[in-house]
A = this chain, B = another copy of it.
Amino acid sequence: MIKVIDMRDDKKGDIYGRLPDRISMDDSSIMKTVGEVISSVRQKGDEALMEYASRFDNVKLTAETMRVSKEEIAEAYSRVDGELIEVIRKAKANIEAFHAKQKENSWFSSEKDGVILGQLYRPMEIVGVYVPGGTAAYPSSVLMNVVPAKVAGVPKVVMVTPPKKEGINPAVLVAANEAGVDEIYRIGGAQAVAALAFGTESIPKVDKIVGPGNIYVATAKRMVYGYCDIDAVAGPSEITVVADETANPCFVAADMLSQAEHDVMASAILITTSERLAEEVKKELEKQASRLSRKEIIEKSLENYGAIIITESLEKAMEVANRIAPEHLELCVQEPFSLLGSVRNAGAIFLGNYSSEPLGDYFAGPNHVLPTSGTARFFSPLNVGDFIKKSSIISYSAKALGSVKDDVIRFAEAEGLTAHANAIRIRFE
C-alpha cells in the first residue's frame, strides 16, 4: 500500500516532484459564490444570516436564538462525561502554561541623548473563532484557538459554529466555556465569516478570525483578509518521522497512522537510514491499520500521500525532511536533541520515542494549529503573538532632531517628497 523510495543512490537528494503537490489555487466558482454571500451579509446583516441558516442548515433562527444562552452552556456540562471535563481542564491548564511563556513585554531604549525608541504591545480587542459543525467539531481545537487569544489579553473572544437541529456538540460548548469564550453564536459557513468581518446587528465586528473550516469558510477568510486579520492558510496535514535503527517500528507506524486517519489527503512519511526499520514499519502499518475504525481513510491516505524513504545518512534524512517542511516532525533516533540544530522547517518537533504526535494534539501544551502542506517554510504554530499588535514608538527632542535634520531633509528631497522635507525644515526656521 505505501510506497518505498530508496534515495541512497540519488545524489541530488531532491524529493520535490516525487511527492504530489497538495496545495491548489483558489477555485473561481467558489470565490463567486462566497463573494455573493459576503455582499449579502454586508447589506442585510442579521436578516441574511437567518436566510442562510434556513436555506443551508434548515434551522429557523431569530436574533435572540442566534446567541447561545448561559442555560444551554450549563446544560452541556450535564451531558458531557465528568472525566472528559477533567481532561479538558487539565489540557487547558497545560496549553495556558505553555502559551504564557510566549508573552513578551513592550520595551523602550534610549541610547542617544534626547532619543527614545521602542515598541508598545497591545492585544487585539475582539477575536472571532470559527468552529466547524459535524464530525470536525473538536473540543481540542476550541482550546487551541481560544487560549492563546485569552493569554494575549484579548478582552472579548466570540465563537461561531453552524446551527444544527440537534444542537451544538456539548463537549465543544464545555471546551469553549473552559477556555473563556465570551459569546457564542449559532452561525456558520461563509456567512459567519462575513458577519465577523463586517459586523451585523447581533454579531460584533472582530479584529481577527481564526479556526478551521471547509473550503467556503477558508475562501471567505481569504476574501475578508485586510478588513480583519486571519490565521494562516491551512491545507491537508502531515507527519514526517525521521528514524534510525534504534526506533521502534510499532510506535513509528502507530504515529503515522494517527496522522493518516485525519483525511484522505493527509500525508504520513517515514525517512530512515535503516532498511530493516523500513520493512518492519511497512508491515506494522498494514497490521495496525486493519484493526482501526478509520481504516478506509487511512488506506487511501497512505496509498496516495504516504511514503517510506531510505537515505544513506541522518544528515541526508534531515535534508529531505526540511524540503518536506512537515507540520509534525518526529525525531525517533538515538540522540534526538543532536538533530535539533539541523531542523530548518517544521511546525512542531517531537523528540524521542515517547513524544508521540497525539500528545501534542491534545495535551502537552504547544499549539496543535500548525503550518501544513509545506508552509512550515514560512508559517509558525498559532501563538500569543498572533493576537498582539506592536506599535513603534519614536520620541526625539528638539536638539536630537536638530542634529539629524539635514540628513532627513536630504533623503526626503532625493525622493521628491518636498512636504516631508518642509515638515523638518519648518521646525528650525
Q: Which residues of B contact A254 (CB under 8 A)?
A: 419, 422-423, 426-427
The distance from the CB of A196 to the nearest CB of chain B, in whole angstroms, is 12
- From known contacts A292-B418, A361-B420, A362-B411, infer whether A394 and B349 are also in contact, taking CB-CB under 8 Å: yes
Inter-chain contact B393/A349, CB cutoff 8 Å: yes
CA distance A315 to B390 in the complex (A): 22
Contact of A422 among B23, B228, B292, B348 (CB under 8 A): B292
Q: Which residues of B contact A334 (CB under 8 A)?
A: none
Inter-chain contact B226/A375, CB cutoff 8 Å: yes
- From known contacts A117-B366, A336-B395, infer whether A260 and B423 are also in contact, taking CB-CB under 8 Å: no
Q: A383 interface residue, CB < 8 Å from B?
A: yes
Q: Which residues of B contact A314 (CB under 8 A)?
A: none
Inter-chain contact B298/A416, CB cutoff 8 Å: no
* CB 8 Å contact bits of A346-386 with B (1 = contact, 0 = none): 11111111111111111111110011000111111101010
CA distance A379 to B376 in the complex (A): 21
Q: Which residues of B contact A235 (CB under 8 A)?
A: 226
Beta-carbon nearest neighbor of A250 in chain B: B426
Q: Which residues of B contact A338 (CB under 8 A)?
A: none
Beta-carbon nearest neighbor of A330 in chain B: B394
- From known contacts A101-B109, A352-B396, infer whether A358 and B207 are also in contact, taking CB-CB under 8 Å: no
- Interface segment among A3-11, A54-62, A68-76, A132-140: the answer is A132-140
Name A210-261 residues within 8 Å CB distance of B: 222-223, 225-229, 233, 235, 250-251, 254-255, 257-258, 260-261
Inter-chain contact B120/A419, CB cutoff 8 Å: no
Q: Which residues of B contact A380 (CB under 8 A)?
A: 388-391
Inter-chain contact A208/B394, CB cutoff 8 Å: no
Inter-chain contact A343/B117, CB cutoff 8 Å: no
Inter-chain contact A422/B389, CB cutoff 8 Å: no
CA distance A38 to B362 in the complex (A): 40
Inter-chain contact B354/A122, CB cutoff 8 Å: no
The distance from the CB of A233 to the nearest CB of chain B, in whole angstroms, is 4
* CB 8 Å contact bits of A399-428 with B (1 = contact, 0 = none): 011001001101110111111111110110
Inter-chain contact A407/B225, CB cutoff 8 Å: no
- Work out how many copies of this chain go into the complex: 2
Q: Which residues of B contact A223 (CB under 8 A)?
A: 25-26
Inter-chain contact A349/B226, CB cutoff 8 Å: no
Main secondary structure of the interface of A (DSSP, over half): mixed
Beta-carbon nearest neighbor of A224 in chain B: B25
Inter-chain contact B251/A427, CB cutoff 8 Å: yes
Inter-chain contact B358/A421, CB cutoff 8 Å: yes
- Interface segment among A80-88, A158-166, A304-312: the answer is A80-88
- From known contacts A229-B378, A254-B422, A378-B207, infer whether A140 and B415 are also in contact, taking CB-CB under 8 Å: yes
Q: A283 interface residue, CB < 8 Å from B?
A: no
The distance from the CB of A259 to the nearest CB of chain B, in whole angstroms, is 8
Inter-chain contact A340/B120, CB cutoff 8 Å: yes
Inter-chain contact B356/A427, CB cutoff 8 Å: yes
Q: A91 interface residue, CB < 8 Å from B?
A: yes
Inter-chain contact A98/B125, CB cutoff 8 Å: no
Q: A397 interface residue, CB < 8 Å from B?
A: yes
The distance from the CB of A157 to the nearest CB of chain B, in whole angstroms, is 14
Contact of A367 among B233, B392, B398, B417 (CB under 8 A): B392
5 A-B residue pairs with Cβ-Cβ distance under 8 Å, sorted by A, are A229-B378, A254-B423, A258-B417, A261-B418, A340-B393
* A→B interface (CB under 8 Å): 23, 25-26, 28, 31-32, 35, 38, 81, 83-84, 87-88, 90-91, 97-98, 101-102, 104, 107, 109, 111, 115-117, 119-120, 122, 124-125, 135, 138-140, 171, 207-208, 222-223, 225-229, 233, 235, 250-251, 254-255, 257-258, 260-262, 288, 292-294, 298, 329, 336-337, 340, 343-367, 370-371, 375-381, 383, 385, 388-398, 400-401, 404, 407-408, 410-412, 414-424, 426-427
**Known interface pairs A358-B417, A366-B393; 8 further A-B residue pairs with C-beta atoms within 8 A, sorted by A's residue number:** A84-B414, A88-B411, A91-B411, A258-B419, A294-B419, A346-B391, A352-B395, A358-B424
